[in-house]
Amino acid sequence: MITLVWQHVSQGALRGVLQVMGASLLLAVFAQISLPLIPVPVTGQTFGVMLIAALLGKEKALLATLLYMAEAAAGLPVLAHQSGGIHALTGVTGGYIFGFSVQAYLIGLSFERRLPAPFLWGSLVQLILGTAWLAVFIGFEKALFVGCLPFIPGELMKIALATTWIKKYANSSLQR
């Protein structure tokens, strides 16, 4: 009996680890998707965070984004444009990258509690964190105009796409 329980627990733990690792890999793949729109390119990172959070829940999505950041810090080319390195986390883009974890947790929590517009709130918080971090380097007004406002149309596109995808392909009772 104890062996059977242990096998069940260890299989569940292994499944969770594989889900987190797979989600981190998926996020790295989505980061390489870039649509060269004007005035700024739209990458797939936040779209990936949205899907991961909706499908895996707040804890696993948080762990996946933290693993993704650790991979980037270690120099693996997992960020947009196959970049990586500690400078990405400590430089002007660091706030946006750290914001992925908050975004993932908030979206997962919103789905768990069945709150309205989870992708919108998660994206808003991620943009605020990224813009605030950028403002430390270039000032608030410039950060707002180069690091926030130009990204809103692309973010709204990703929110609409993620919402449509989740409604179409995932059951209303999302499997975790």
Residues 125, 102 contacting (CB under 8 angstroms) = yes
Q: What domains, with CATH codes, occur in the chain?
A: 20-33+42-169 (1.10.1760.20)
Q: How confident is the model at residue 13 (pLDDT cuts 50, 70, 90)?
A: confident
What mean pLDDT comes out for the span 128-139?
98
Three-state SS for 152?
A: helix
User: What's the mean pLDDT when you consider all of the chain?
Assistant: 91
pTM over 0.75: yes
Q: How confident is the model at residue 169 (pLDDT cuts 50, 70, 90)?
A: confident
> Sign (positive/negative) of CA torsion 132, 35, 158, 89?
negative
Instruction: Encode pLDDT of 98-112 as tens digits.
Output: 999 999 999 999 999
Instruction: Encode pLDDT of 82-92 as tens digits.
Output: 999 999 999 99
Instruction: Encode pLDDT of 17-32 as tens digits.
Output: 999 999 999 999 999 9
Residues 67, 97 contacting (CB under 8 angstroms) = no
Q: How confident is the model at residue 40 (pLDDT cuts 50, 70, 90)?
A: confident
Instruction: Encode pLDDT of 140-151 as tens digits.
Output: 999 999 999 999
Per-residue pLDDT at 9 exceeds 70: no
Q: Say how far apart CA 63 and CA 65 lie, in whole Å.
A: 6
Per-residue pLDDT at 172 exceeds 80: no
Q: 139 exposed, middle or buried (CB, 10 Å; 0-12, 13-18, 19+)?
A: exposed
